[in-house]
Amino acid sequence: MLIVDEAFDKLDQSGIERMIHLLIQQSNDDVLVISHDPSLMDAFEDVIMVEKENALSRIVD
């Protein structure tokens, strides 16, 4: 499994698109992308969204 944590933070839109393409094309295993950017959700097949409310985090359906 490849874990990518905030890898898109400093990229422009073109860089984001290239990175997504690279992750999807080159990955033979699962990829876990951690990001605060909700616009990336549409690029991936399965999404788990976690929200923090007060001191607790919860998984959102």
Report DSSP letters for the chain, one per residue: -EEEESTTTT--HHHHHHHHHHHHHH-SS-EEEE-S-GGGGGGSS---EEEEETTEEEEE-
- 20 vs 44: CA distance, rounded Å: 9
Class of domain 2-60: alpha beta
Model pLDDT for residues 15-37, shown as the tens digit of each residue: 999 999 998 887 777 889 999 99
Backbone angles phi, psi at 13, to 5 degrees: -60, -40
- Inform me whether the pLDDT recorded for 53 exceeds 90: no
Mean of pLDDT values over 30-59: 90
Model confidence band, residue 50 (pLDDT cutoffs 50, 70, 90): very high
Q: What is the pTM of this model?
A: 0.73
